[in-house]
Amino acid sequence: MPIAVLLATLIGLTVAGYYMGRSRAVAVGGHGTRHLNSLPSYYGLYVAAWCGIPAVSIVVLWLALEPEIIRALLVATLPDVAGTWSDGTMALMLNDIRNLAGGNIVSRDVDPELRTAAEYYAFLRNTGFAAMAVVALAIAAGGLTYGRRAIHPDLRARNRVEGVLMVFLIISSTVAILVTIGIVLSLLFEAIRFFQRVSPVEFLFGLEWSPQTALRADQVGSSGKFGSIPLLMGTALISFIAMCVAVPVGLLSAIYMAEYAPPRVRSAVKPALEILAGIPTVVYGFFAALTMAPFLRDWGSQIGLSISSESALAAGLVMGIMIIPFISSISDDVITAVPQSMREGSLGLGATKSETIRRVIIPAALPGIVGGVLLAVSRAIGETMIVVMAAGLAANLTVNPLQAVTTVTVQIVTLLVGDQEFDSAKTLAAFALGLVLFFVTLVLNIVALTVVKKYREQYE
Amino acid sequence: MDEAMTGMNEEVGLSFGADDSEPLGQTPGSASGAETPAKFVSRGVDVFYGAKQALFSIDIDIMPNEVTALIGPSGCGKSTFLRCLNRMNDIIDGCRFSGSIVLDGEDIYARAIDVVHLRARVGMVFQKPNPFPKSVYENVAYGPRIHGLASSTADMDEVVRTSLERAGLWEEVKDRLHEPGTGLSGGQQQRLCIARAIAVEPEVILMDEPCSALDPIATARIEELIDELRTNYTIVIVTHNVQQAARVSQRTAFFHLGKLIEFGDTDQIFTNPRAERTRDYITGRFG
């Protein structure tokens, strides 16, 4: 019986449990459902929970543990020589056994011993699954019977069901947190391996970035430099340019939309601005690389500036355009949320509309606007595609926006694209960079929250 | 004339329905007398919100240095009329005005009128205290700043001080001028809003149910304040509270369903109302 059929059966049983529980509750309740502690559907859910949850847990547990258990049983039956095999050989052998059992191509000649092992493997799997299926179905049936028996007018089915629901909610929120922790840990372990090869001081404060490791001692350019400052500077420079574009344009358009635009204009302009947020970043990327950068270069040469064809300016400008809808949308919401009484109070004193906006509305909306801007900065720092295509790869330590710079994200991409060996500092550097990036955005978010909170205390 | 009034009075009776009779009490022109011209003269004011008519041909004369109370049940149009006096209805989408309101001989709905100047002359205090999210000082200094009424910091300090004193708030906030105005109690906030309106040196102060969000003690303070302010300002107050109208006002206008039912001296309205509906409202039989 394949796993899908088993699960379908369990779900069927659970649904049946729901209806049985409900009708049982109605029957137990006697005249109408007035004497029941809870609504009949809660009794149904109660029985369904008894029937479904333990059985499905058993299936999930088995799926998680099965490979390890079967592997242990299989290894125990292998010939004695297996004890002398290295981990790699053992893994290869087990893989062959699995492939043979599954009817796939095998990497060696099939001898009788291998065939025996494969047959044993198949036998273990089938038996194990059958046993598990029987146990699960038995538990489901048992749960169903127990739950149905337990139904009594005084049973507080509603409270029990609510309790089960709460457990589900807790599990869901824990999953998100656990995944985050997992990501951080995976970054952290690889970064530690990197820092065993390159000192953290050099990485954090070094002014030169040239990530390469020597294959031979006498290789030309064998000495790698892993100073991350040029990358951080590049990231900061491009983000700064982007914010210089996005903050004024986004904020002013938000003010227009929230305060001046007649409803008809607003309903047309707002979605149009939000289309900007829907453009894939890769499209922005080639717009920056193929349209904006050459345009800036040609324009620069006409007025006597030398702008390289991959410049921080081009990437920053386009990134700024990408971020406009973030800022305008958040600011628009925040400005609209400022109470109408503030506007009336100011207008009632004889202030003009623009005085009202400058002196009352914007200060009142500032916490939200600052929060929006800082969120946009995190977004700019983490943005990858535009800078990969338009900012260049040269790790120049410069604040000149006309030159090519590179960013943390660009370097992570170039370090991990293609064939990699995971024991060289070059590859591991990507994880250290990722960790730094994660850390910077985290700090930025915390600062954003603190700033918002502080202003809120001051203004409300 | 009195006989005519009595006759109409009987005719109006208890039927609150469809009568388009003239409002009772002082008819336009007759009230003002020869010696003091009215501050505001409103004639035939109709206001529409979209297709719905909120006010029907309102004629009221508002006398200088008096408190005029506008009373009536919810939705009767009294707030709408108040907001016509400084054109605050302009900022509401779909609000249409016709008729004329004249302030000191000038039609405030004329094309040549600058709304900003009008609102500086006719200040407003709202139902819910709405101090700006700024310090006490900045709240009061806001109006003078935008109108350039103080030339130096010392000047501004003086303006803030006098305004707070007139609003009866100085003693309570003089040590916390630079703390947020939103941190004051509800009654203090409302007096701060009055101080903020006074700081612009208006001629008229409009108050839209200024005590409805306050407790009885704070309400009493505001009522005292209104009485003191009358010597310098013309005050128009909308109130839900009939007793409050009796306490603070010299003239009372009773609105019902968008129409002005009766307008006259407060004493007369409360002791001897001419219209049955007015009597029923002030004695609490409806509204």
CATH 1.10.3720.10 domain extents, chain A: 225-459
**What is the domain count for chain B?**
1
- Residue B2 reports pLDDT greater than 50: no
| Nearest CB to A347 within list B119, B121, B147 | B119
A347 contacts on B by Cβ (under 8 Å): 88, 91, 119
Give the pLDDT mean for B55-73: 93
Q: Taking CB atoms and an 8 Å cut-off, how many pairs form between chains A and B?
A: 76
In angstroms, the separation between the Cα of residue A263 and the nearest Cα of chain B is 10
- For chain B, percent of residues with pLDDT exceeding 70: 87
Contact between residue A100 and residue A15 where contact means Cβ atoms under 8 Å apart? no
Q: How far apart are CA A192 and CA A189, in angstroms?
A: 5
Cα–Cα nearest to B45, from B32, B60, B30: B60
Q: How far apart are CA B173 and CA B193, in angstroms?
A: 13
Please give the structure tokens belonging to residue B66. 């008096």
Which of the four pLDDT bands, split at 50, 70 and 90, describes residue B13? very low
| Tokens 């453009």 -> residue | A279
In angstroms, the separation between the Cα of residue A325 and the nearest Cα of chain B is 27
Q: How far apart are CA B219 and CA A420, in angstroms?
A: 78
Helix (H) or strand (E) holding B245: helix B242-248
Answer whether residue B287 is part of any domain.
Answer: no
Q: How far apart are CA B259 and CA B47, in angstroms?
A: 11
Sequence-distant (6+) residues with CB within 8 A of A36 are: A25, A28, A29, A43, A153
In angstroms, the separation between the Cα of residue B261 and the nearest Cα of chain A is 28
Please give the structure tokens belonging to residue A305. 């500036």
Helix (H) or strand (E) holding B106: strand B106-107
* Amino acid present at A300: G
Nearest chain B Cα to A362, which residue?
A: B133
Sequence-distant (6+) residues with CB within 8 A of A267 are: none
Q: How far apart are CA A109 and CA A115, in angstroms?
A: 10
- For chain B, percent of residues with pLDDT exceeding 90: 57
Residues on B contacting A at a C-beta cutoff of 8 Å? 86, 88, 91, 93, 116-121, 123-124, 126, 128, 130-134, 142-143, 146-147, 180, 182, 193, 196-197, 200
Question: Distance between the two ends of chain A, CA-based, in angstroms?
Answer: 64
* Amino acid present at A324: I
Helix (H) or strand (E) holding B235: strand B234-238
| pLDDT tens, residue order, chain A (460 aa) | 588 888 899 999 999 999 998 888 888 877 666 777 888 888 899 999 999 999 999 999 998 998 888 888 888 877 766 667 777 788 888 888 888 887 777 777 777 777 888 888 888 888 888 999 999 999 999 999 998 888 888 888 888 899 999 999 999 999 999 999 999 999 999 899 989 888 888 888 888 888 876 666 666 655 678 888 889 999 999 999 999 999 999 999 999 999 998 889 988 888 888 888 889 989 999 899 899 999 998 998 898 888 888 888 999 999 999 999 989 988 998 898 888 889 999 999 989 999 999 999 998 888 888 888 988 898 899 888 888 888 888 888 888 888 888 888 988 888 888 777 777 788 888 899 999 999 988 898 888 888 777 766 555 4
Nearest chain A Cα to B91, which residue?
A: A344
In angstroms, the separation between the Cα of residue B116 and the nearest Cα of chain A is 5
The predicted pLDDT at position A457 comes to 54
Rg of chain B in Å (alpha carbons): 19
ipTM greater than 0.90, yes or no? no
Strands A225-226 and A209-210: antiparallel
B136 contacts on A by Cβ (under 8 Å): none
Q: What are phi and psi of A226, to 5 degrees?
A: -120, 50
For residues B26 and B223, the model is more confident at B223
B132 vs A360: CB contact, 8 Å cut-off? yes
Q: How far apart are CA A114 and CA A139, in angstroms?
A: 37
Sequence-distant (6+) residues with CB within 8 A of A426 are: A211, A212, A213, A224, A415
A345 vs B146: CB contact, 8 Å cut-off? no
| Nearest CB to B142 within list A339, A349, A459 | A349
User: Options 1.10.3720.10, 1.20.120.430, 1.10.760.10, 3.40.950.10; which CATH number does A225-459 get?
Assistant: 1.10.3720.10
Q: How many degrees, rounded to 5, is the angle at CA B53 between CA B49 and CA B58?
A: 115
Q: How far apart are CA A234 and CA A305, in angstroms?
A: 20
Q: How far apart are CA A58 and CA B17, in angstroms?
A: 75
Range of the domain at B194: 24-282
B147 contacts on A by Cβ (under 8 Å): 350
In angstroms, the separation between the Cα of residue B199 and the nearest Cα of chain A is 9
Answer whether residue B192 is part of any domain.
Answer: yes
For residues B12 and A363, the model is more confident at A363
Answer whether residue B49 is part of any domain.
Answer: yes
- Domain containing B43 — which CATH number? 3.40.50.300
CB neighbour burial string for B39-50, b if at least 16 within 10 angstroms, e if fewer: bbbbeebebeee
Answer whether residue B31 is part of any domain.
Answer: yes
Mean pLDDT for chain A overall: 86
The predicted pLDDT at position B99 comes to 92
Q: How far apart are CA B133 and CA B179, in angstroms?
A: 10
pLDDT digits (tens, 9 = 90+) for A186-223: 999 989 998 988 888 888 888 888 887 666 666 665 56
Contact between residue A345 and residue B128 where contact means Cβ atoms under 8 Å apart? no
Answer whether residue B235 is part of any domain.
Answer: yes
- Residue B29 reports pLDDT greater than 60: no
Which of the four pLDDT bands, split at 50, 70 and 90, describes residue B25? low
CB neighbour burial string for B169-200, b if at least 16 within 10 angstroms, e if fewer: bbebbeeebeebbbebeebbbbbbbbbbbbbb
CA distances to B14, B62, B82, B170, B209 from B223, rounded to whole Å, are: 32, 19, 18, 17, 11
Q: How many degrees, rounded to 5, is the angle at CA A181 between CA A177 and CA A187?
A: 150
The DSSP 8-state label assigned to residue B22 in this structure reads: P
